[in-house]
Amino acid sequence: MIKVVTGVRRCGKSTLFLQFIDELRAEGIHVDQIIYINLEDLTNEELLDYHKLDKHISDRLIEKGISYVFLDEVQRCVGFEKVVDSLHLRKNIDVYITGSNSKLLSGELATLLSGRYVQIEMLPLSFSEFLSSCDPTEPVRESFNRYVTFGSFPYLTQLPKDASIYNTYLEGIYNTILIKDVAGREGISDVSLLEDITRFLSSNIGSPVSPKKISDMINASGRSISVNTVDKYMRALSESFFFYKAGRYDIKGRNLLKTLAKYYVVDTGLRNFLLSSESPDIGHQIENIVYLELLRRNSRVNVGKISENEIDFVAIGNDGISYYQVAASVLNGETLSRELLPFTLISDNYPKYLLTLDDIPAYANHQGVKQIYLLDWLLN
């Protein structure tokens, strides 16, 4: 099986490769058996021609034993899928590839390798992973505040605790994704419009959005953009893993609805960098964090619809279905009642959770709905 590692830039895909190569070496695999090529490296520029890439790898394959081939940021090479398919046809070759665009598996590669690959999806650090790199004497809530504010790209944990340094690093990631992975790949010339759409989605995480809604907003400001163009830009942002699209799921009908999806950003630090002049809105930020954590733990995560009400998330995993509501605080009785109402409309007995920043001793039980302190849930 070919291993395909996907995820946003700087989430740790290359490091995962290097760690695995270290593990192979520790197990006695000779260095001549390992071929690692990073196609972002300028010294490998000529290998962006797939014929030359194939020859470069073929010349280094060993005659006896297994050759381990690691191709990093493989989407940089036009026609790379021909190389990967050719390698897969040979004996004694174990192939690993990474990419920063979901189109990697939506086109010719998926057709060529049907049933012969496994996809490993990566995100920036979970809070549990992030916390393992923090000073153990630092209060957990303080670490969480930094996690929410500046995000969880792995290299951030190595930087001094300085907002200006964090923001400079985030700016570099943002520009690389927007210019290289979105505008460059899609041939988008009007980068300012792309940035406007990115900001709009960032400021509306957790709210239903549509290409028409964004198109109307931009046209009202005096510029002109079609619904189809907005849709193209939104798809490109999703394919680069900058945003994740959560479809709406009809809980009673057990089917996905086609309209009014919600979008969540891959990292709250990127969102805060973009919207630095706006109010942080902790409620939507923790909702975003819960969505990403549910993605790590489940195979599918949707927004739930029940009658005229919504459940923040319907997670479908190996253990079945579970329902989640997320709120900054429910100490106010009216807020608690509002958050619990959608649960009362669900007739099945799947687990139901209310996640909040209210630090309660253990968990409260509201007629079958478990209220859990968010940080405890994230670290479970």
Question: Do both 226 and 92 map to the same domain?
Answer: no
Question: Do both 161 and 75 map to the same domain?
Answer: no
Cα(88)–Cα(117) distance, integer angstroms = 10
pLDDT at residue 362, rounded to an integer: 63
CB neighbours of residue 97 within 10 Å: 27
Type of residue numbered 29:
I
Question: Do both 117 and 133 map to the same domain?
Answer: no
Cα(362)–Cα(300) distance, integer angstroms = 28
DSSP string, 310-330: EEEEEEEETTEEEEEEEES--
Q: Is the dihedral of CA 288, 292, 293, 294 positive or negative?
A: positive
Global confidence as pTM: 0.94
Cα(339)–Cα(316) distance, integer angstroms = 21
Cα(339)–Cα(333) distance, integer angstroms = 10
Per-residue pLDDT tens digits for 88-129: 999 999 999 999 988 888 777 888 887 889 999 999 999 999
Question: Do both 299 and 177 map to the same domain?
Answer: yes
Question: Do both 49 and 137 map to the same domain?
Answer: no
Long-range contacts of 218-222 (CB under 8 A, 24+ apart): 218/193
Question: Do both 277 and 332 map to the same domain?
Answer: yes
Question: Do both 27 and 100 map to the same domain?
Answer: yes
User: How many domains, the chain?
Assistant: 2
pLDDT at residue 299, rounded to an integer: 82
Where does a domain end: 121, 142, 162? 121
pLDDT at residue 109, rounded to an integer: 80
* Residues in contact with 340: Cβ distance below 8 Å, sequence separation at least 6, in sequence order: 325, 354, 366, 367, 369
Per-residue pLDDT tens digits for 182-226: 998 888 989 999 999 999 999 999 999 999 999 999 999 999 999
Question: Do both 22 and 154 map to the same domain?
Answer: no
Cα(273)–Cα(279) distance, integer angstroms = 12
Question: Do both 101 and 191 map to the same domain?
Answer: no
How remote is the C-alpha of 74 from its chain's centroid?
19
Where does a domain end: 121, 147, 178? 121
Dihedral, CA of residue 256, residue 371, residue 369 and residue 354, to nearest 10: -20
Q: Which secondary structure element, helix H or strand E, spans residue 300, and what is its range? A: strand 300-306
Q: Tell me the CA end-to-end span of the chain in Å, nearest whole number.
A: 32
Question: Do both 55 and 135 map to the same domain?
Answer: no
Question: Do both 33 and 107 map to the same domain?
Answer: yes
Cα(242)–Cα(151) distance, integer angstroms = 13
pLDDT at residue 33, rounded to an integer: 98
pLDDT at residue 280, rounded to an integer: 67
With b meaning 16 or more CB within 10 Å and e meaning fewer, what string describes 55-83?
ebbeeebeeeeebbbbbbbbbbbeebbbb
Tokens of 149: 């504010």
Please give the residue range of the domain that contains residue 93: 2-121
Type of residue numbered 90:
R
Please compute, for residue 89, the number of CA atoms within 13 A of its CA located in the half-sphere on the CB side.
9
What residues pair up with 357 in beta bridges, in sequence order? none
What residues pair up with 119 in beta bridges, in sequence order? 4
Question: Do both 88 and 152 map to the same domain?
Answer: no
Residues listed for the chain = 380
* Number of continuous H segments (helices) and E segments (strands) in the chain: 15, 13
Where does a domain end: 100, 121, 142? 121
Residue numbers in the chain where pLDDT is lower than 50: none
Task: Indicate which CATH number applies to the domain containing 104.
Answer: 3.40.50.300
